[in-house]
Structures are given as C-alpha cells and as structure tokens.
Chain A
C-alpha cells in the first residue's frame, strides 16, 4: 500500500488551502458560477439535485482500514451516515454542505486522501484490476505503475483543462478486469525477458457514443509510458473538439482522424519529445514498487475442503463470493453491496467501520473497491473464511451473489444526479425484488446487469450483458434495454432490442429475457452472454415484444 512521504502530504495540504480560497471567493461573489464550476469539479464537487455531491478519490481502489474509518467519520459528521461506491472505484457523499467541504478535505488529508481530479475535464482517478497483486493469472502487479501515473497526472499543468474528461485504466493479467478497451487510454502490461512492456489502447469509452478503443502502440518499453501518454494527451488537448461537449471526448477525435492518422500525429510528437527528462528509470520504478510488496503471508496453510462443509449458506457464499488466490491457503473475498433494499454500492458508516475491523482481523488491514461497486478483502486465510462469513452476516453483508444477475451495477440516477433523465436505483430495487422470488437465480450462473440513468453511462450499461438506460420521452422516464454487452478481454457493446419501457414494465421484461435464455441455452453451462452470441437477439426480441 502506498504511503505518503512529506512531498505528497505537502501537495495535498496545499490543495486544501487552494480549494478553500476558491470556495471563499465564490461565496464572496468574486468568482462567477461559470468560473467556479471547473474549479469545484476538479475537486470532485458537483451541485446536485438536493445538495452538493463530493466525490473522493480512492486511487486504483485501494484503502487502508484507517482510511475507511475516516470515511465513516466523514459520513457521520458531514453527511447522512453513508457513502456510495462509484463505478470508478471512488466514494461519493451525497449530502455535504458546500461551506463544510474544505473541512471534509482537511479530514481526508489527515489520512492521505483527497478529491483531486475526481471530476472535471482532466485526467481522472487511475483505475485498475481490483485483484491486482493477488490474482493467479497476474503477469505484472499494476498498482505501482498506477501510482506512478497518479503522481504524474496530479495537477499536470499541460492537461489541467482538457476538452473533456479523460480516463486511464491499466491491466496486468491475462484476463482484463480493468475495462481497458472502454477507456480513453487503456494500458495492458506484459512481460518479456523480465522487462515490462505496454500495449496502449486509445479512444474507447461509453457515454453517448460507445466505442471500443483501438491499439495505438504495441510493446512500448515501460520507461516511455509517461511521454507516450503525454503525446496522446497533447494531440487531444490541441485538436479535440471544444465547441460541442458531446463530441469532445478523445474517441471522437480518433474516429474523425482514423487511428492511422491519429497515431501518426502522436508518433511525430513523441519522436520530438522522446528522451526528455520525464522518462522513467529503474530507480523510480523500484522505489514505488517497494510500497506494494507482499504482506506477510503465512506459508503452508491448510486448504479447506469446500464440498464437505455442513454450513450450506456459507458454502454458497464461498462458491460465489471468493476467488482463487495466488498463494495456497488464501482466497480473495468479494463483499456484495447489492442486496435487497440497498441502493447498489451504498455503504453505511456502521458497515464501513465493521469492514475496516474485519480487514484488520482477516486481511492485513487493506480494503479494495471494485468498479462493480463491491468491496474486496484480498488476502483471507481459507481456514478463517467461515468465521469471516459469520461476522459479515452480523451486518447484513453476506449476500452471495457476486457476478449473478442481482449483482447490479447502477449509477445514483435521477434520485440524486441532476444530469440523469431517469431514476435508476428504484429500477435496481424492483429487479432485486423480482429475483428474490426467483428460485433459479443461482442456476442462471453469471449475468451482468448495468443501469445508467442517462447516456453519460456512469452505470456502464453498454458493457452489461443486460443494459438498462434511462431516457427522457416528452418529459417522462423510460428505459431502453440493450443485450449482448460484455467487459474484459472480449469486450463488446450491447445492442438495443427495441422500443423502451416504463419503470413498471422492467421487471416483467427482465423475466422474459431470462425465460428466453433458459429455454434456448444448450445446457446449464452455457453462459447468458454465450447464448446471445450464438442465437442472436431475435429470439429475445420475440419473447419480449411478441411475434410481430
């Protein structure tokens, strides 16, 4: 886990003072709304439907137990006792008072946290695989490269006011769990003769015009990663559209120029700037890498025999919510924040403190957030899993649905967000109620369902096997369904199945989609997404809309 040195601390403290001054000038009317907007956004502050929303950065999704406890205290002191895990692995507070935001930032700075660049037209929080460092299929631990990128992108002067937001994600395993093809820049790390190389993807993104990124550079030696990203960003900063915010993302520029021409411009710029003083060296890489060494794993731990347990509910949870660890005798646990009555991703201050305590007891005091809006305890001894399960049960965090249809990914939607066309949390709740009465949920195996309240696509609906998008029709809320989206190495963008539905119709529609799948799948092992790929959308359309 990265620890601040005096320079990090100083920069974050100076940021708190800078922001405080900006807010004061705004409150004293020395700054107009238009002037204050980009400033507050770059500090994660939105003006929302009911109150401002403050988005706090969780760099590459990693937290210590003390940080989580501090977030719980902030939720109690300045908010309404809860926070919301976002699809960028950050945490959002929905009810802070504008005047109190500097105090929140000061409280965050004390535990080495901040809200820098969690919004606005700048380089956002760097995201990566939530299982980095512990997954058996990992080639390179991405976290130290992510930390190097975090520092490089923090207050980067040249890219502080880009045409639009800019998201970078990084993956270092065989299976991409960081969605690199739906990011403005996606970095895929590889190892060759003990040296790290990167494949760079550019121009992916969701939102109004979903696109998968294109490969712009193969086998880039890792020391050039910063200068190459700078060249991409420079071409984008100068030529990206600024006249129309809906056409301002880098994907539009890449598409307009074509990947070959875009690449030519980037490479020309890079050739001129290469070998500048910003290139990384072994010393710096190994300095940052030292923060991410393995915890003190116990060796020769016994493995448990999963099939022999008497405790059935624990057994189901073990199967669904834990995954293989690179070390024998350990497993990685995902705690589901998707259970009935809970808006997906919400976490109460009590639950935060409980998870912090459990992480101290069971997982070296570290916690991770995932872009699926769940929580990960990465390093749990197998023999202690049942005890952990029982303790999670005490605070209702034992839902065993990771990867299942009820593990819904969902933005805050029209209940909170002023951009939204439609509510999304009640839709998630109504689907969860449907699935509660559904005996076959576990037999359905993995199906992802993503809900976004508008085309900004914070709920990543394009890459959900089932995607639900809130749309506005003549001032009322409707929902469009897409099928066939997927994330990971075989990323795909879902296709719209037809006319949109009212909120009341949605559970019925989901039910019909499931029935169609159950009817058509080859056998119990054929996944929903594979079934769609095989039979196409027509049978599903027929089930949902009828024959004509």
Chain B
C-alpha cells in the first residue's frame, strides 16, 4: 500500500514518513463473546505478538510503526531509527499509549481508519490531545475522504493522508467547509462564548 496525498495543517506536502504495515500471516484472534472489546470492522488479519517479535524492519529512514510493534521491539527500533512515529488502529486500546515513555518525543502519531464509517478516531484524537497531552502532529490515515477532515481537524488532527485516487486539492478546501461551529472542542470554546449572539 502506498500513500501519497498528504495534507499537513493547511497545505499539501510531500509524503514524509513511510507507513509500515507488518506482515499478517499469523492471526491474533480477538475473543468477542462474553466481554466487550473494540471491534475490527474488516476481516483483515492482525499480526500476533510472536509474528511482531520476528518482523523484519523496513530500510526507510523515516517510518511510522504500529504502536504494538514498537512496544514489542522498542530497543531495535530506537537503535535503528533516529526519526520515527507511531500509528494505532481504531480498535486498539488507547491505554497502550501509556507505555510510551515520553509521548511528546514522538513527532507523529497516526490513527488508521480502516473504514470511512468508523468514527472512533474522532474520540481517540480528542483523548490523545486532551488526556495524553500530545502536542505534535496527529495524523489521520486510511480511508480518509474530504468529508471527514473538517471533523477530524476539530478532533485534534493536524495532518491527513487522503485516500488514494481522491482529489487532494479538493479535499484541502474541506478544512473550511464551515466557518463556524456550535460546540466547544479542545482549545476552541463554544460559539456562545466566542461571539456575541443576539
């Protein structure tokens, strides 16, 4: 899978980080009966911890690693790469981020949205900003269309890898779909606190 349509803040930029997907020959079965888990939306396989331990690492200089791989291969990754970011799935427990020592040493955190209709990333982005106090680039990756990015922006995201085949210039315009919003979000106060409404 190659991604190239990257919007950072308000401009289109060259794709910087290589998005690394581990091989998924082996599966980690998520038990669903009898307990609440975060559900995957597609039948794609997830790599097992064992597979991640033996995963060959890519030759690129700047890489976005899946959080689980990083947590298992911390020493390998930190010694081999001077510039790397992390990405998580929408079905990952956000709590895993607590195992990252200094979250603000990570320049980019990506959230991989498998399916357009999966709205979990909006809550996860909000929490990563608000509760984990992440200050650097928060990136939406996966099935990203222009129709999500106004909401993603208001949920703390700062960059967007637009789905391949979609018009990225057109997507850029959507950051300004609405000139005002009613509700308060992150640092933005609700409309009634910001303006005089009569």
Report the separation of the CA atoms of residues A137 and B187 in the bound assembly, to the nearest whole angstrom: 42
Contact status A157-B122, CB under 8 Å:
yes
- Nearest to A37 among chain B residues (CB) is B117
Contact status B190-A278, CB under 8 Å:
yes
Q: Is B58 an interface residue (CB 8 A)?
A: no
Q: Is B145 an interface residue (CB 8 A)?
A: yes
CB contact between B180 and one of A10, A121, A226 (< 8 Å): that residue: A10
Binary CB contact string for chain A from 228 to 239 against chain B (1 if under 8 A, 0 otherwise): 000000100111
Q: Assuming the A-B contacts A158-B155, A242-B41, A287-B192, are A35 and B185 also in contact, with contact meaning beta carbons closer than 8 angstroms in the complex? A: no
- Nearest to B195 among chain A residues (CB) is A7
Report the separation of the CA atoms of residues A158 and B152 in the bound assembly, to the nearest whole angstrom: 8
Report the separation of the CA atoms of residues A34 and B114 in the bound assembly, to the nearest whole angstrom: 14
Which residues in window 190-245 of A have CB below 8 A to B?
226, 234, 237-239, 241-243
Report the separation of the CA atoms of residues A186 and B145 in the bound assembly, to the nearest whole angstrom: 34
CB contact between A155 and one of B41, B167, B182 (< 8 Å): that residue: B182
Contact status B120-A237, CB under 8 Å:
yes
Contact status A241-B39, CB under 8 Å:
yes
- Nearest to B41 among chain A residues (CB) is A242
Q: Is A489 an interface residue (CB 8 A)?
A: no
Report the separation of the CA atoms of residues A185 and B21 in the bound assembly, to the nearest whole angstrom: 39
Which residues in window 145-198 of B have CB below 8 A to A?
145, 147-148, 150-155, 166-167, 177-185, 189-193, 195, 197-198
Q: Is B40 an interface residue (CB 8 A)?
A: yes
Report the separation of the CA atoms of residues A278 and B126 in the bound assembly, to the nearest whole angstrom: 14
Count A interface residues, CB 8 Å: 46
Contact status B116-A152, CB under 8 Å:
no
Which chain B positions have C-beta within 8 A of A31?
145
Q: Is A18 an interface residue (CB 8 A)?
A: yes
Contact status A160-B184, CB under 8 Å:
no
Q: Is B124 an interface residue (CB 8 A)?
A: yes
Contact status B41-A159, CB under 8 Å:
no
B156 to chain A, nearest CB (A): 9
Which chain B positions have C-beta within 8 A of A156?
183
Which residues in window 112-133 of B have CB below 8 A to A?
116-120, 122-124, 126-127, 130-131
Contact status A273-B130, CB under 8 Å:
yes
Contact status B120-A11, CB under 8 Å:
no
Give chain A's interface secondary structure class: helix
Report the separation of the CA atoms of residues A278 and B182 in the bound assembly, to the nearest whole angstrom: 10
Q: Is B75 an interface residue (CB 8 A)?
A: no
Q: Is A311 an interface residue (CB 8 A)?
A: no
Q: Is A284 an interface residue (CB 8 A)?
A: yes
Report the separation of the CA atoms of residues A264 and B36 in the bound assembly, to the nearest whole angstrom: 15
Contact status A7-B180, CB under 8 Å:
yes
- Nearest to B181 among chain A residues (CB) is A155
CB contact between A238 and one of B120, B145, B148, B184 (< 8 Å): that residue: B120
Q: Is A161 an interface residue (CB 8 A)?
A: yes
Which chain A positions have C-beta within 8 A of B94?
238
Q: Is A22 an interface residue (CB 8 A)?
A: yes
Q: Is B38 an interface residue (CB 8 A)?
A: yes
- Nearest to A288 among chain B residues (CB) is B192
Contact status A22-B178, CB under 8 Å:
no
A29 to chain B, nearest CB (A): 12
Report the separation of the CA atoms of residues A161 and B114 in the bound assembly, to the nearest whole angstrom: 13
CB contact between B179 and one of A10, A273, A283 (< 8 Å): that residue: A10
B32 to chain A, nearest CB (A): 8
Q: Is A162 an interface residue (CB 8 A)?
A: yes
Which chain B positions have C-beta within 8 A of A155?
151, 178, 181-182
CB contact between A7 and one of B36, B120, B130, B197 (< 8 Å): that residue: B197
- Nearest to A31 among chain B residues (CB) is B145
Which chain B positions have C-beta within 8 A of A238?
38, 94, 120, 123-124
Which chain B positions have C-beta within 8 A of A283?
192
CB contact between B122 and one of A18, A159, A284 (< 8 Å): that residue: A159
- Nearest to A247 among chain B residues (CB) is B39
Which chain A positions have C-beta within 8 A of B127?
234
Report the separation of the CA atoms of residues A241 and B40 in the bound assembly, to the nearest whole angstrom: 9
Q: Assuming the A-B contacts A7-B195, A239-B38, A278-B184, are A34 and B116 also in contact, with contact meaning beta carbons closer than 8 angstroms in the complex? A: yes
Q: Is A154 an interface residue (CB 8 A)?
A: yes
- Nearest to B145 among chain A residues (CB) is A35
With A155-B178, A257-B36 given, name 10 new contacts (CB 8 A). A5-B198, A11-B178, A22-B147, A34-B116, A151-B182, A158-B122, A158-B126, A160-B119, A242-B118, A256-B36
Which residues of A pack against B, CB within 8 Å? 5, 7, 10-11, 14-15, 18, 22, 30-31, 34-35, 38-39, 121, 151-152, 154-163, 226, 234, 237-239, 241-243, 253, 256-257, 272-273, 276-278, 283-284, 287
List, sorted by A's number, 10 A–B pairs whose CB atoms are closer than 8 Å. Answer: A22-B147, A31-B145, A38-B117, A157-B122, A157-B153, A157-B185, A158-B185, A237-B122, A243-B39, A256-B36
